[in-house]
């Protein structure tokens, strides 16, 4: 592509068209036009000078030339509005051309260009096109309404064009129907006062068109079906069963669209076994999507994560093997697969999963290896028969002395001890041999907790504690609190040895530290030391609540929103749509008992989201998240901060809180665990 | 849905841009370049979202294909669309890279305009759009669309027709159908030869040159069906590529799942498992399926690495051909003659290898390839009854900063013709057309290695 082509050089080529003597005049003109188009991608706007010449060519009846001129005009209309307006009469004439392709092309161009004169003409031309004999033109007209909506919503509503668009839903040609649905969804999603509703008959018609449409139209129809509110469980299940064959389609968008609709409809189906069998059908197609390219795999995997949160029976035990990571998978795919593997581990398949996790823990990617170790720990908590094996594995991994593995391993082992208090004491001495120098505060906290908890079983507990106490004043708050508690426990078990230690630590805590929590606890222990030993023992060494590791990953509201957005962008972040796009319209899933029987043909403005009453016990009246909850993430830095925040929260991957405060306070805090939201 | 489509080359220059919606600043193209193209290694996700703008990106050869969205759009559909664009444009131009794009800017602009109206994908098959796209293009090779369409007659406007994938009124002198069953065997083994996971990802590609608008019915040995009757109507030639009895599984094949091309009538499949469709002209992927039971594995590799201090690794890798089923509880018959060809075993070595000495094998040829950090062991044909082994010794340079070796798995690559690892067999392919012509049908089975990993 020559960068030195000047506009003036190309002018003769355009003018050559008029020279009828030259037999190849048309070809020359076309070649020149192509060069002009090719130069459009250059940043300089040199080609603008040729606008008048281009306008001159518009009355030529050679389709290639016309098309190329239109491409030019579309690109430069903004820069030269006056010139562009000169082209308008030709375009309007073109909408009356005998060839439907030309009519459609002109209609499309008129509605695309964002100039007031064009919009005005579009408002006139579109309603005419609704009645066109060729379905192609009607289809273009349907989308044209959505195109000019932003610029002329008032005129459109007042002129009744929306009703015209609605009428297209009864069209004989299915692509017109599908495009009209697409256009309506686009308009209503952008406008607060409008809401798309389908009733049963509309939904049935829409569903019947599915097999005949091509894949993209199928996705639009499926999206529209999520706006259908079933009036009865029977209606919902009949529509759902017609959609099920779509799960066999090769296009990921169709499959996930079908999963989304079926999941949505199951909210209205009362029969448990129907729901069960429908959801089971969704499992297998998701597994097949794993052979697609990595980006599509990722979308399918995020959909799987959401699905198994609500319906864990979708996959069988042995399916977990299909989620094993391949060496070349990109990191985002591997992380999500690991998470799914963890969720699907149960007592039947842990034997094959654990060796796999061990492999991952020895991988080069630090982050991934850490997650794998965490997962091993969490499997031990959740699947009791696996605990022995997990513990052995973790001890092996810790003995490799790889720094980050040791840290994660320490935390995981502490959780195991917390869950199964007296089982693995034999491993204690080995553990402390392998973990001599640690940096990560959480790892330190874990080991300190273990020392405190098993102070009576460890022979060298005091020495270990002294090592940690060496740097007491430099530690972070959590570590200091843990040390204080552990030393207290040590004192209670071995008063003679730990006496000096406890006095030293309490002195530090109360006098040398600033933080009120630490000081308060220090004072409390100081006073307790003068009290009755038995009572003190009961308080400090009291039984701990059992942790289970089955906390919910998402709050029910988030899960609700996520299931409505399977296959959409917000599901990739595993957050609600509001959190990802603050401007997006909140989705309210309507309670059928409250359903307004407006059909699709009645799209007058209604402020629906305000008028829905709140049913606190209804699981499917999803209140849209408040926009005050999470601030709109606007700058790149903020977004990267959010991502880092996610990573930090990740550490508590499965809702296991490391005991950060003393045991005394734990009884109350454990209630908080249930509401901890964990992001991936 | 899609606000704009951008094509960048690897340097970050915008090669082609098409906006579908208003309100986009030119600078959004810059943002992508800075965030993704400049540091390709730190890509946390295939979608980059900054503020309310999201960039969905895939790469193909030396191009980045990016879709920009400003709403909570259907990510799955957008990625499918991007891949569809890539394949359509590749077929159209013969190749899809920055050079071919540069040569064909006008026709690509036209194509992008027709393919997605207002950012919503419409019809993406070029065959259906050929009437809309009036410009011709510079094709890069003999495989491009122009050379293939020489036998096509004048296409009639399909525009808003429901069978958008086939133009009516086609005529061929010789009506032929080629069915290729291509299976990819994906296995993960551990160092002791145990199978950690094995699955077959298969696809059936059909290449047809049929006149008119034929209705086809396709029958497989699907285990969930009762045994189907033998084919009656049109003749069914299976030339030299017939799978012999001892290769087909005794029972049928149990599919875990099938995904079909949009031309297949899914409703009928759901009700009685019949695959009926009107095929598009030329080559297309009819269905993809997955199987995990009764998979036949051609061979196993047993690696044994001995790390002598930090300066030497002794490799001892043995390959055992194995011809009966290995998945437990299967009933498939053992195979006697498998044609395993073009076997390439890639045995990885650390990057700090100075030389590899003493490579000796009992079969095949082995060579150390420093550029790929691996010992490549090749066989042109595997004898099904013998076992082979390779020994080698790799000398390592001691390095100051020794990063631990990632120990990538041993990859095996092979092709087995006339064999379907899952045991699938095409039972019949019936073609109904009003003019009732006779058709020549060919079936071919190939099993290739997908991701065949043996962990060290």
Give pLDDT tens digits for B214-242: 888 888 887 766 443 333 322 233 322 33
Band (pLDDT 50/70/90 cuts) for residue A257 is very high
Nearest CA in chain B to A35: B106
Instruction: Give first-to-last CA distance, chain B, whole Å.
Output: 46
Residues 6+ apart with CB under 8 A from A260: A222, A226, A563, A564, A565, A566, A567
Q: CB–CB of B289 and A255 under 8 A?
A: no
Q: Tell me, yes or no, whether A388 lies in a domain.
A: no
Between CA A294 and CA A301 the distance in angstroms is 10
Residues of A in contact with B269 (CB under 8 A): 245, 248
**The two three-digit tokens of residue A180, written as one number:** 């009209």
Handedness of CA A590, A596, A597, A601 (dihedral sign): negative
Who wins on pLDDT, B52 or B156?
B52
Residue ranges of chain B that CATH labels 3.30.450.60: 4-131
CA of A553: how far to CAs of A127, A559, A656, A680, in Å? Answer: 50, 9, 11, 9
Q: Cα A288–A289–A293 angle (5° rounding)?
A: 130
Task: State mean pLDDT over B244-271.
Answer: 68
Q: Write down the pLDDT at residue A491.
A: 83
Q: Write down the pLDDT at residue A500.
A: 82
% of chain B surpassing 90 pLDDT: 10
Residues of A in contact with B201 (CB under 8 A): 291
Task: State mean pLDDT over A507-523.
Answer: 84
The three-state secondary structure class of A654 is coil
Pick A570's closest partner by Cβ from B22, B72, B287.
B72
Interface list for A 247-306 with B (CB within 8 A): 248-253, 255-257, 284-285, 287-288, 291, 293-296, 298-300, 303
Establish if A368 touches chain B: CB-CB under 8 angstroms: no
Across the A/B interface, how many CB contacts are shorter than 8 Å? 244
Q: Tell me, yes or no, whether A519 lies in a domain.
A: yes
Q: CB–CB of A581 and B285 under 8 A?
A: no
- Among A343-352, A539-548, B371-380, the range scoring the smallest mean pLDDT is A539-548
CA distance A323 to chain B (A): 9
Between CA B427 and CA B230 the distance in angstroms is 8
Interface list for A 414-473 with B (CB within 8 A): none
Who wins on pLDDT, A475 or B377?
B377
Interface list for A 580-599 with B (CB within 8 A): 580-584
Who wins on pLDDT, B391 or B254?
B391
**Count of positions (residues) in chain B:** 456
Handedness of CA A642, A643, A648, A652 (dihedral sign): positive
Kindly tell me if the per-residue pLDDT of A264 is higher than 80. Answer: yes
Establish if B106 touches chain A: CB-CB under 8 angstroms: yes
The three-state secondary structure class of A194 is coil
Interface list for B 383-402 with A (CB within 8 A): none
Interface test with A, best of B40, B72, B222, B327 (most A CBs within 10 A): B72
Asked if B418 and B180 count as a contact pair (C-beta separation under 8 A), the reply is: no
Establish if B156 touches chain A: CB-CB under 8 angstroms: no
Residue B1, number of CB atoms within 10 A of its CB? 25
- Domain span at residue A471 reads 438-544
Which string of DSSP letters, residue by residue, matches B360-418?
Answer: EESSSEEEEEGGGTEEEEEEEEE-TT-EEEEEEEEEE---SS-PPP--PPEEEEEEEET
Establish if A637 touches chain B: CB-CB under 8 angstroms: no
Between CA B155 and CA B171 the distance in angstroms is 11
Pick B288's closest partner by Cβ from A250, A327, A636.
A250
Kindly tell me if the per-residue pLDDT of A475 is higher than 70. Answer: yes
Which of A620, A624, A619 has the alpha carbon at shortest distance from A608? Answer: A624
Residues of A in contact with B157 (CB under 8 A): 100-101
Kindly tell me if the per-residue pLDDT of A301 is higher than 90. Answer: yes
Band (pLDDT 50/70/90 cuts) for residue B180 is very high
Between CA B260 and CA A603 the distance in angstroms is 37
Which segment, A418-432, B135-149, B309-323, is predicted with the most confidence on average? B309-323
Asked if A650 and A680 count as a contact pair (C-beta separation under 8 A), the reply is: yes
Q: Which residues of A308-328 are buried (b: 16+ CB within 10 A; e: fewer)?
A: bbbbeebbeeebbbbbbbbee
Q: Write down the pLDDT at residue A590.
A: 66
Task: State mean pLDDT over A210-224.
Answer: 87
Band (pLDDT 50/70/90 cuts) for residue A298 is very high
Nearest CA in chain A to B35: A636
Sheet holding B63-69, edge to edge: B14-19, B4-9, B63-69, B53-60, B47-50
Q: CB–CB of A211 and B188 under 8 A?
A: no
Residues of B in contact with A355 (CB under 8 A): 190, 196
CA distance A524 to chain B (A): 47
Kindly tell me if the per-residue pLDDT of A561 is higher than 80. Answer: yes
Query: Half-sphere exposure of residue A98, counting CA atoms within 13 Å on the CB side?
Result: 1
Residues of B in contact with A572 (CB under 8 A): 45, 47, 75
Pick A568's closest partner by Cβ from B44, B73, B109.
B73
Interface list for A 536-565 with B (CB within 8 A): 565
CA of A37: how far to CAs of A345, A577, A660, in Å? Answer: 57, 39, 66
Nearest CA in chain B to A37: B106
Q: Write down the pLDDT at residue B133.
A: 67
Q: Write down the pLDDT at residue B78.
A: 93
Residue A243, phi then psi, degrees to nearest 5:
-80, -25
Q: Report the relative pairing of strands B195-209 and B176-189 from DSSP bridges.
A: antiparallel
The three-state secondary structure class of B165 is coil
Q: Write down the pLDDT at residue B333.
A: 45
Q: How many domains does chain A have?
A: 1
Q: CB–CB of B288 and A41 under 8 A?
A: no
Residues 6+ apart with CB under 8 A from A20: none
Interface test with A, best of B6, B16, B47, B75 (most A CBs within 10 A): B75
The three-state secondary structure class of A633 is coil
Which of A365, A447, A464 has the alpha carbon at shortest distance from A406? Answer: A447
pLDDT digits (tens, 9 = 90+) for A321-353: 888 888 888 889 999 999 999 888 888 888 888
Residues of B in contact with A146 (CB under 8 A): 118
CA of B67: how far to CAs of B20, B48, B133, in Å? Answer: 11, 11, 22
Q: What string of H, E and C letters represents the secondary structure of B194-234? A: CEEEEEEEEEEEEEEECCCCCEEEEEECECCCCCCCCCCCC
Interface list for B 25-44 with A (CB within 8 A): 35, 43-44
Interface test with B, best of A5, A239, A288, A295 (most B CBs within 10 A): A295
Task: State mean pLDDT over B424-437.
Answer: 84
Between CA A237 and CA A240 the distance in angstroms is 5
Q: Tell me, yes or no, whether A472 lies in a domain.
A: yes
Is domain B299-327+336-417 in CATH 1.10.260.40, yes or no?
no
Establish if A186 touches chain B: CB-CB under 8 angstroms: yes
% of chain A surpassing 90 pLDDT: 5
Which string of DSSP letters, residue by residue, matches B131-147?
Answer: TT--------STTSHHH
Average pLDDT across chain A, whole number: 76
Between CA B442 and CA B429 the distance in angstroms is 10
Quick one: CA torsion of B144, B150, B155, B161, rounded to 10 degrees?
Answer: -40
Q: Write down the pLDDT at residue B402.
A: 67
Residues of B in contact with A568 (CB under 8 A): 72-75
Establish if B273 touches chain A: CB-CB under 8 angstroms: no
The DSSP element (H or E) to which B443 belongs, if any, is strand B440-454
Q: Tell me, yes or no, whether A510 lies in a domain.
A: yes
pLDDT digits (tens, 9 = 90+) for A168-195: 888 888 888 888 888 988 888 888 777 7
Helices marked H in A435-567? 441-453, 461-469, 477-493, 495-507, 516-529, 533-540, 556-564
Task: State mean pLDDT over B295-320.
Answer: 87
Residues of A in contact with B106 (CB under 8 A): 33-34, 37-38, 68, 71
Band (pLDDT 50/70/90 cuts) for residue A26 is confident
Between CA A135 and CA A526 the distance in angstroms is 86
Residue ranges of chain B that CATH labels 2.60.40.1170: 176-295+420-454, 299-327+336-417
Q: Write down the pLDDT at residue B426.
A: 86
CA distance A445 to chain B (A): 29
pLDDT digits (tens, 9 = 90+) for A97-155: 888 888 888 888 888 888 888 888 888 888 888 888 888 888 888 888 888 888 888 88
Name the DSSP letter for residue A15.
H
Q: CB–CB of B72 and A577 under 8 A?
A: yes
Q: Write down the pLDDT at residue A630.
A: 32
% of chain B surpassing 70 pLDDT: 81
Average pLDDT across chain B, whole number: 78
The three-state secondary structure class of B64 is strand
Pick B79's closest partner by Cβ from A220, A245, A295.
A295
CA distance A258 to chain B (A): 12
pTM comes to: 0.78
Dmax of chain B from CA atoms?
Answer: 77
Measured N-to-C along each axis, helices B75-93 and A252-265 cross at an angle, to the nearest 10 degrees, of: 160
Q: Tell me, yes or no, whether A486 lies in a domain.
A: yes
% of chain A surpassing 70 pLDDT: 81
Between CA A408 and CA B78 the distance in angstroms is 38
Band (pLDDT 50/70/90 cuts) for residue A614 is very low
Which of A59, A55, A62 has the alpha carbon at shortest distance from A84? Answer: A55
Who wins on pLDDT, B330 or A535?
A535
Residues of A in contact with B270 (CB under 8 A): 244-245, 248
Q: Write down the pLDDT at residue A302.
A: 92
Q: B176-295+420-454: which CATH number, 2.60.40.1170, 2.60.40.2580, 3.30.1330.10, 3.40.50.300?
A: 2.60.40.1170
Q: Write down the pLDDT at residue A604.
A: 31
CA distance B356 to chain A (A): 24
Q: Tell me, yes or no, whether A333 lies in a domain.
A: no
CA of B281: how far to CAs of A67, A104, B128, B285, in Å? Answer: 28, 27, 11, 11
Q: Which fold has domain B4-131?
A: Beta-Lactamase (3.30.450)
pLDDT digits (tens, 9 = 90+) for B238-247: 322 334 333 3
What radius of gyration, in Å, describes the C-alpha atoms of chain B?
Answer: 26
Which residue shows structure tokens 């078990």? A493
Q: CB–CB of A100 and B75 under 8 A?
A: no
Helices marked H in A77-115? 81-94, 100-112
Nearest CA in chain A to B6: A41
Between CA A177 and CA A170 the distance in angstroms is 7
Helices marked H in A289-361? 294-310, 331-344, 350-361
Interface list for A 161-180 with B (CB within 8 A): 173-176, 179
């Amino acid at each position: 592509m020559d960068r030195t082509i000047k506009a003036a050089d190309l002018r003769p080529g355009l003018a050559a068209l008029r020279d009828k003597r030259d037999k190849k005049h048309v070809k020359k003109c076309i070649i020149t036009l192509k060069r002009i188009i090719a130069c459009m991608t250059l940043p300089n706007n040199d080609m603008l000078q040729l606008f008048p010449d281009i306008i001159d060519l518009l009355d030529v009846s050679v389709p290639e030339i016309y098309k190329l001129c239109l491409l030019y005009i579309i690109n430069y209309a903004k820069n030269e509005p006056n010139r562009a307006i000169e082209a308008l009469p030709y375009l309007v004439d073109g909408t009356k051309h005998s060839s439907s392709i030309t009519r459609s092309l002109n209609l499309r161009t008129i509605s695309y260009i964002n100039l007031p004169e064009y919009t005005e003409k579009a408002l006139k031309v579109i309603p005419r096109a609704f009645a066109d004999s060729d379905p192609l033109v009607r289809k273009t007209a349907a989308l044209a309404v959505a195109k000019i909506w932003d610029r002329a919503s008032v005129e459109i509503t007042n002129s009744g064009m929306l009703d015209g668009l609605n009428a297209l839903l009864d069209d004989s040609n299915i692509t017109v129907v599908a495009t009209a649905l697409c256009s309506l969804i686009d308009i209503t999603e952008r406008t607060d006062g409008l809401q798309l509703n389908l009733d049963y008959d509309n939904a049935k018609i829409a569903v019947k068109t599915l097999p005949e449409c091509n894949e993209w139209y199928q996705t639009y129809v499926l999206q529209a079906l999520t706006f259908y509110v079933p009036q009865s469980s029977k209606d919902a299940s009949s529509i759902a069963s017609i959609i099920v064959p779509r799960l066999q389609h090769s296009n990921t968008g169709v499959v996930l669209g079908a999963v989304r609709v079926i999941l949505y409809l199951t909210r209205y189906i009362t029969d448990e076994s129907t729901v069960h069998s429908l959801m089971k059908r969704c499992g297998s197609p998701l597994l097949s999507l794993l052979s697609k390219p990595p980006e599509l795999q990722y979308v399918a995997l995020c959909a799987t994560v959401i699905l198994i949160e609500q319906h864990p029976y979708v996959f069988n035990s042995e399916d977990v093997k299909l989620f094993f990571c391949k060496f070349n998978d990109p990191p985002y795919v591997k992380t999500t697969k690991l998470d799914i593997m963890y969720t699907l581990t149960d007592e039947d398949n842990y034997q094959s999963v654990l060796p796999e996790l061990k492999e991952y823990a020895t991988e080069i990617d630090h982050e991934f290896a850490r997650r794998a170790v965490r997962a091993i720990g969490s499997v031990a908590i959740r699947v009791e028969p696996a605990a022995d094996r997990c513990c052995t594995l973790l001890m092996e991994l810790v003995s490799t002395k790889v720094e980050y593995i040791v840290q994660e391993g320490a935390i995981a082992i502490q959780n195991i001890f917390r869950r199964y208090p007296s089982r693995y004491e034999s491993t204690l001495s080995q553990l402390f041999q392998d973990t001599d120098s640690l940096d990560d505060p959480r790892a330190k906290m874990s080991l300190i907790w273990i020392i405190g908890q098993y102070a009576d079983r460890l022979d060298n507990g005091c020495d270990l504690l002294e090592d940690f106490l060496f740097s007491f004043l430099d530690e972070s708050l959590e570590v200091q609190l843990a040390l204080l508690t552990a030393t207290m426990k040590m004192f209670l078990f071995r008063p003679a040895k730990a006496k000096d230690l406890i006095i030293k630590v309490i002195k530090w805590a109360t006098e040398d530290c600033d933080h009120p929590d630490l000081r308060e606890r220090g004072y409390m222990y100081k006073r307790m030391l003068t009290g009755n030993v038995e009572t003190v023992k009961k308080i400090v060494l009291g039984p701990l609540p059992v942790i289970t590791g089955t906390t919910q990953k998402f709050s029910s509201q988030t899960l609700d929103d996520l299931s409505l957005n399977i296959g959409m962008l917000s599901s990739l972040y595993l957050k609600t749509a509001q959190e990802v796009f603050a401007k997006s319209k909140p989705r309210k899933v309507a309670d059928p008992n409250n359903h307004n029987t407006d059909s699709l043909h009645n799209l007058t403005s209604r402020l629906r989201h305000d008028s829905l009453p709140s049913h606190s016990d209804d699981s499917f009246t999803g209140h849209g998240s408040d926009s005050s909850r999470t601030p709109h993430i606007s700058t790149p830095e903020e977004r990267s901060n959010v991502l880092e925040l996610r990573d930090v929260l990740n550490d508590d991957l499965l809702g296991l809180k490391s005991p950060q405060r003393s045991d005394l306070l734990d009884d109350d805090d454990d209630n908080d665990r249930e509401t901890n939201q964990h992001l991936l | 849905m899609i606000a704009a489509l951008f094509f960048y080359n690897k340097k970050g220059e915008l090669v082609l841009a098409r906006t579908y919606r208003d309100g986009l600043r030119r600078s959004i193209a810059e943002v992508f370049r800075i965030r993704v193209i400049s540091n390709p290694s730190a890509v946390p996700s295939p979608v980059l979202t900054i503020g309310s703008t999201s960039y969905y990106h895939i790469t193909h050869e030396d191009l980045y294909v990016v879709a920009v969205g400003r709403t909570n759009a259907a990510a799955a559909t957008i990625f499918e669309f991007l891949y569809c664009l890539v394949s359509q444009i590749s077929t159209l131009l013969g190749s899809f890279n920055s050079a071919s794009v540069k040569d064909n800017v006008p026709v690509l602009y036209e194509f992008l305009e027709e393919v997605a109206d207002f950012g919503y994908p419409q019809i993406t098959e070029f065959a259906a759009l050929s009437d809309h796209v009036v410009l011709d293009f510079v094709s890069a090779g003999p495989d491009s669309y122009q050379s293939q369409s020489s036998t096509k007659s004048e296409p009639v406007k399909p525009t808003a027709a429901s069978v958008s994938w086939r133009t009516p009124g086609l005529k061929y002198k010789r009506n032929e159908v080629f069915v290729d069953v291509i299976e990819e065997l994906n296995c993960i083994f551990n160092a002791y030869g145990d199978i950690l996971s094995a699955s077959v990802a298969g696809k059936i590609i059909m290449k047809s040159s049929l006149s008119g608008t034929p209705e086809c019915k396709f029958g497989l040995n699907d285990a969930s069906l009762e045994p189907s009757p033998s084919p009656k109507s049109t003749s069914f030639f299976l030339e030299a590529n017939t799978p012999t009895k001892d290769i087909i599984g005794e029972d049928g094949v149990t599919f875990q799942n099938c995904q079909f091309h949009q031309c297949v009538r899914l409703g009928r499949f759901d009700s009685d498992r019949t695959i009926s469709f009107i095929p598009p002209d030329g080559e297309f992927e009819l269905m993809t399926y997955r199987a995990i039971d009764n998979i036949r594995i051609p061979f196993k590799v047993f690696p044994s690495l001995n790390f002598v201090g930090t300066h030497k690794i002794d490799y001892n890798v043995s390959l055992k051909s194995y011809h009966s089923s290995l998945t437990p509880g299967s009933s498939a018959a053992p195979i006697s003659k498998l044609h395993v060809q073009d076997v390439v075993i890639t045995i990885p070595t650390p990057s700090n290898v100075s030389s590899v000495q003493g490579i000796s094998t009992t079969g095949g040829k082995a060579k150390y390839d420093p550029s790929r950090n691996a010992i490549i062991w090749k066989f042109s044909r595997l004898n099904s009854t013998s076992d082979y082994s390779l020994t080698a010794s790799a000398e390592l340079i001691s390095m100051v900063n020794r990063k631990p070796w990632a120990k990538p798995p041993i990859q095996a690559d092979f092709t087995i013709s006339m064999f379907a690892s899952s045991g699938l067999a095409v039972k019949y392919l019936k073609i109904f057309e009003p003019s009732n012509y006779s058709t020549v049908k060919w079936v071919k089975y190939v099993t290739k290695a997908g991701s065949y990993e043996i962990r060290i």
